[in-house]
Amino acid sequence: MSDHAADPATEDFVTHRNLLFTVAYEMLGSAADAEDVLQETWLRWVKVDLGQVRDRRAYLVRITTRQALNRLRTMTRRKESYVGPWLPEPLLTSPDVAEDVELAENMSMALMLVLETLAPTERAVFVLREVFDVGYGEIAAAVGKSPAAVRQIAHRARRHVDARRPREAVSQSETRAVLESFRRALDTGDLQGLLDVLAPDVVMVGDGGGLKQAALRPVTGAGKVARYIIGGTGRVPNTVTVDQTMVNGNPALLMRLDGELDGVLAVSVEGARITGLYYVRNPEKLTRVESETPLTLR
């Protein structure tokens, strides 16, 4: 695919590749699976008679959606045997992703976890309609349903997500300030400092995937979460360093032990307090936090 100057199929695919990756990732929560979907999309795209295609971008999105739906169904079975909670794979993102408020919200760990509670077709419809603003007719062609059925599914999925998404939008600078307070408390082992920055009903979810130690169930409540965090760092003989970064378009923390990447901590914030902590330790999910992944809604 290196020399694509005279190859319209390759040119179209390369032009829309970041969009197609973003669609697949938003549907799957896994960069590795999204890359596989793009490979499958490419193999189908090169067999298409481009003379019959009116809107190549829409057609590529349609193929990607179908492949992602197939993959989503097999992933659902895979997650049933996963050790402990399953969190989306975090992606290091560029500042322009953070500046696109809509994109940053849709890619946030908190919202992607809400999408995990939708059935595969509901998730595909929600993502295409609410995130990428695809028309009902085009979605219908992608998911193999009538436009009327797609409207109903979209309405149901939107209601489901709205009931579970964060109630208020928080600016990037507010989130960074809260994370900085959290980091200071962590550095000094300050239990009260942690309690001050955690919401009373905060939930902490850890994903070790059976490869690294993590709580097998979510930890709920400021007291329990703070003691779990202080207890965990207190038991580690290594030097722990914590740095702010941008993951999925939102401020997050990179945790290192003796300089080695240990995990990524993403958060959801409301009212200047952390309501959700999402700690990904599974090393298989940490391959995309050292170099940026381009994401786009267009």
Residues of the chain with pLDDT > 70, as a percent, come to 96
**How many CB atoms within 10 Å of residue 291?**
8
Q: How many residues does the chain have?
A: 298
| DSSP of 269-296 | EETTEEEEEEEE--GGG-TTSSS-----
* Residue-level pLDDT at 6: 55
Contact 262, 254 (CB under 8 A): no
Average pLDDT over residues 83-111: 93
Residue with tokens 């399953």, as numbered in its chain = 86
pLDDT confidence of residue 96 = 87
Q: Where are the alpha helices (DSSP H) in 51-108?
A: 56-80, 95-99, 101-107
Q: Residue 14 CB: number of other CB atoms within 10 A?
A: 12
Average pLDDT of the chain is 92
Are the CB atoms for 207 and 88 separated by under 8 Å?
no
Residues near 25 by beta carbon (within 8 Å), at least 6 away in sequence: 31, 34, 91, 295
Residue 20 near residue 61, CB atoms below 8 Å: yes
Q: How far apart are CA 45 and CA 14, in angstroms?
A: 12
pLDDT per residue as tens digits for the range 111-159? 999 999 999 999 999 999 999 999 999 999 999 999 999 999 999 999 9
Please check whether residue 196 is in contact with residue 184, taking contact to mean a CB–CB distance below 8 angstroms. Answer: no
Place 177 in a pLDDT band, splitting at 50, 70 and 90.
very high
39-52 pLDDT, tens per residue?
Answer: 999 999 999 998 89
Task: Report the C-alpha dihedral over residues 122, 124, 129, 135, rounded to 10 degrees.
Answer: -110
Instruction: Give pLDDT, residue 169.
Output: 76
pLDDT of 5 reads 53
pLDDT tens for each residue of 192-244: 999 999 999 999 999 999 999 999 999 999 999 999 998 876 566 567 889 99
Percentage of the chain modeled with pLDDT above 90: 79
C-alpha separations of 108 from 40, 189, 234 in Å = 26, 28, 29
With 50 as the cut, is the pLDDT of residue 4 above it?
no
The reported pLDDT for the residue numbered 238 is 66
Helix axis angle for 56-80 and 8-28, nearest 10°, is: 40
Mean pLDDT of all residues in 55-81: 93
In whole angstroms, what separates CA 284 from the centre of its chain?
15
CATH topology match: 7-81 vs 172-285: no
CATH architecture for residues 7-81: Orthogonal Bundle (1.10)
Domain boundaries, the chain: 7-81, 172-285
Listed range (25-39, 142-156, 161-175, 254-268) with the worst mean pLDDT: 161-175
CATH of 172-285, one of 3.40.1190.20, 3.30.1380.10, 3.10.450.50, 3.40.190.10: 3.10.450.50
Q: What is the mean pLDDT of residues 42-63?
A: 93
In this prediction, residue 237 carries a pLDDT of: 58
Residue 18 predicted with pLDDT over 90: yes
Residue 170's pLDDT is 85
- What is the pLDDT, as a whole number, of residue 145? 96
| Per-residue pLDDT at 250 exceeds 70 | yes
Q: E-strand spans in 107-236?
A: 198-207, 219-220
